[in-house]
Amino acid sequence: MSIHAPEYVRQIAPYQAGKPISELAREYGLQADRIIKLASNENPLGISGPVRDAMAATVAELGRYPDSNGFELKAAIAKRYGVPQEWITLGNGSNDVLELAAHALLQPGCSAVYSQYSFAVYALATQETGARAIVVPARDLGHDLGAMRAAIAADTRLVFIANPNNPTGTFLPADAIAAFLAEVPRDVVVVLDEAYNEYLEPALRFDSTRWLGDHPNLLVSRTFSKAYGLAGLRVGFGLAQAELTDLMNRVRQPFNVSSVAQAAAIAALDDTEYLQRSYELNREGLAMLQSAFDRMGLEYVPSYGNFVLVRVGDAAAVYEGLLRAGIIVRPVGNYGLPEWLRVSVGLPGENRAFLDAFARVLGR
């Protein structure tokens, strides 16, 4: 090998995305418009009319760079969450926000803590800085916050928590997170990744942004990719006090969120009807999938997100059988869960088509 790259870069296992519809169509000679993708926790409703209009209105301006500071989108977020604009970081998806935190805080010789079976990007964001990963064994496929607190070392700079977690769908209640925040050393940053927050029942949906005032080491991360339905546009945001926000801004690409994405996100924040519809559709879809798994006698993790992790045994074979039926779900062998598949909630007809094919493939 002639190119000099750090060993920690060579060691990275690249992210494995859900199979794109166009790829399955090409590989299996299927008709793209008949393929059902339940593999990337996307919103099956697609983008709403008002968001489409807002995007179209920005097209004429695309010859210019976007607003690097995202003034209008930050104003809308500040108003929604009751935080100052200086506490907001916009990201090219919330994936970008997670990486900004890693790049601002980690380097070789320090460490980040995250849970076994938590979101794959935490490992990537840590490894690409040369920092050491401290992976804490999961409890019941979810975060063990006591063990995570105990795992924090003298060189730990960052802790990642996904709530709800992907790919397992587990959830930590407010008092557990609050107790964790109270115990973590003040110089260790806690990233609370709430990509699926909008899918929680109102009774469970605590306002984590209220902790920001007391915890200068807290970063709350949210996305427009899931319940807001804008996965393809790449826009998310982080909320943290000014010192941490300023550090992240120093390692941010100047134009990391396009003008189309900024306009769409503003419109999406306003479209409360769409958000409510997404929520309700997801409740119904989750109930449909989980009660079918119950009837089939399959083990699954009761989910707080827009997907379910279900245990099928030889997941690679079941995945393959579903692909042949034109249905894409997500194998999670890369997470160390080779017997499980993750199935995103789709439209009612898509869920039914999946369940039919699933029963056939499993021979039940």
Ligand X SMILES: *Cc1c(COP(=O)(O)O)cnc(C)c1O
Question: Closest CB to ligand X among 230 and 292?
Answer: 230
Nearest to 138 by CA among 111, 167, 117, 152: 117
Binding-site member from 166, 245, 249, 303 for ligand X (CB under 6 A): 166
Number of residues that bind ligand X (CB under 6 A): 14
Binding-site member from 43, 48, 89, 95 for ligand X (CB under 6 A): 95
Asked if residue 162 binds ligand X (CB under 6 A), the reply is: yes
| Distance set, CA 278 to CA 18, 19, 266, 346 (Å) | 21, 23, 17, 10
The one-character DSSP state at 139 is B
In whole angstroms, the minimum distance from the beta carbon of 195 to ligand X comes to 4
Q: Is the peptide bond before 50 cis (omega within 30 degrees of 0)?
A: no
Query: What are the DSSP E strand ranges found in the chain?
Result: 36-37, 88-91, 111-115, 132-136, 156-162, 189-193, 218-223, 236-239, 300-301, 307-311, 327-328, 330-331, 340-344
Binding-site member from 43, 94, 170, 282 for ligand X (CB under 6 A): 94
Task: Report, in angstroms and rounded to the nearest whole number, the Rg of the chain calculated over CA atoms.
Answer: 20
Name the residue with the smallest CB distance to ligand X: 93
In whole angstroms, the minimum distance from the beta carbon of 41 to ligand X comes to 6
x-or-dash string of contact with ligand X, 106-135, rule CB under 6 A:
-------------x----------------
x-or-dash string of contact with ligand X, 183-212, rule CB under 6 A:
----------x-x-----------------
158's tokens: 């960052």
Sign of CA dihedral 283, 284, 289, 291: positive
> Using CA atoms, how far apart are residues 138 and 248, in angstroms rounded to an integer?
29
Asked if residue 93 binds ligand X (CB under 6 A), the reply is: yes
- Choose one: 70-78, 90-98, 255-263, 274-282; the region binding ligand X (CB under 6 A): 90-98
Q: Which of residues 217-236 bind ligand X (CB under 6 A)?
A: 223, 225-226, 231, 236
> Using CA atoms, how far apart are residues 232 and 105, in angstroms rounded to an integer?
28
List residues binding ligand X (CB under 6 A). Answer: 41, 93-95, 119, 162, 166, 193, 195, 223, 225-226, 231, 236
